[in-house]
Amino acid sequence: MSDSKPPLTHGKVAEGQHREYVGGKWDEIGPLQFQYLVSQGLRPEHVFLDIACGSLRGGVHFIPYLNTGNYLGLEKEEELVQAGLVYELGEQRALEKKPEFVISDAFAFRHFSKRPEYALAQSLFTHLKQEHIELCLRNLRHIAKPGCRFYATFFEADTVAANPEESHDHMSFYYAAADMSAFGSKYGWQPTYIGDWGHPRGQRMMLYVAP
Ligand SMILES: C[S@@+](CC[C@H](N)C(=O)[O-])C[C@H]1O[C@@H](n2cnc3c(N)ncnc32)[C@H](O)[C@@H]1O
């Protein structure tokens, strides 16, 4: 998988561009995703996987809440994770809570030491072509605990949409809800369309449950 993007230099991180890179609205979309998952039953004792965790917009809320070692973050851009750890979460909190990270652009979930009971992909499928959404769903299904609940946001189209040819961090992809369900069913997930969950840019929510 590849993306053309400007490097996130130290100067850009210092200017807060690690927040902009993941879409901005830091103080809105961070708490929103955390509170939503808690409303869906996430508890400190659960193992939680944040897929495409970026610069920890959600992670700064999930990591302190979860028991030590229960936060797993997967991301393709290592410097975003570093910026999140150093400038957002803080090194002391990281040492205390021991979040685990895997840097991968191919959804290499097998490298985590634990299997998730809850997972979230917030603003990820909105940037991926179908093949990459399916790769994520397939690889996650292999390591998800039975009963695992995977929440994924997407931009909803009424019918099949004309999307960009390649996945891209800063381009939007649209899918019909029926297609999002079908992608999950193909890999043994039980999909449910949740729809509106209060996202300020109108992203919809899917839930995939591992039987
Ligand atoms: C819009 S940001 C959202 C980040 C985070 N979920 C949040 O809410 O702040 C999308 C993230 O997806 C990451 N990403 C895109 N494709 C990916 C892939 N194939 N594997 C892992 N991360 C990916 C990007 O690097 C970026 O950090």
Q: Probe ligand 1: pick from 81, 112, 124, max atoms within 8 Å of CB?
A: 124
- DSSP, res 27: H
Buried b (16+ CB within 10 A) or exposed e, 82-112: bbbbeebbeeeebeebebbbbbeeebebeeb
- DSSP, res 59: H
Helix axes 130-143, 177-185, angle to 10 degrees: 40
Cα dihedral 83, 42, 101, 197, rounded to 10, equals: -50
The mean of the pLDDT values for the chain is 94
Write the pLDDT tens digit of every residue in 65-78. 999 999 999 999 99
CA distances to 32, 41, 72, 118, 198 from 36, rounded to whole Å, are: 6, 9, 18, 12, 9
> How far is Cα 9 from Cα 133, in angstroms, rounded to an integer?
29
Going by pLDDT thresholds of 50, 70 and 90, the confidence category of residue 38 is very high
Task: Write down the pLDDT at residue 159.
Answer: 81
Q: Which of 204, 207, 124 is nearest to 167 (CA)?
A: 124
Question: What domains, with CATH codes, occur in the chain?
Answer: 33-209 (3.40.50.150)
Asked whether residue 161 carries a pLDDT value surpassing 80, the answer given is no
**Closest C-alpha residue for ligand 1 atom 9:** 57
Find the 53 Cα to ligand 1 centroid distance in Å: 6
Going by pLDDT thresholds of 50, 70 and 90, the confidence category of residue 16 is confident
**Closest C-alpha residue for ligand 1 atom 2:** 22
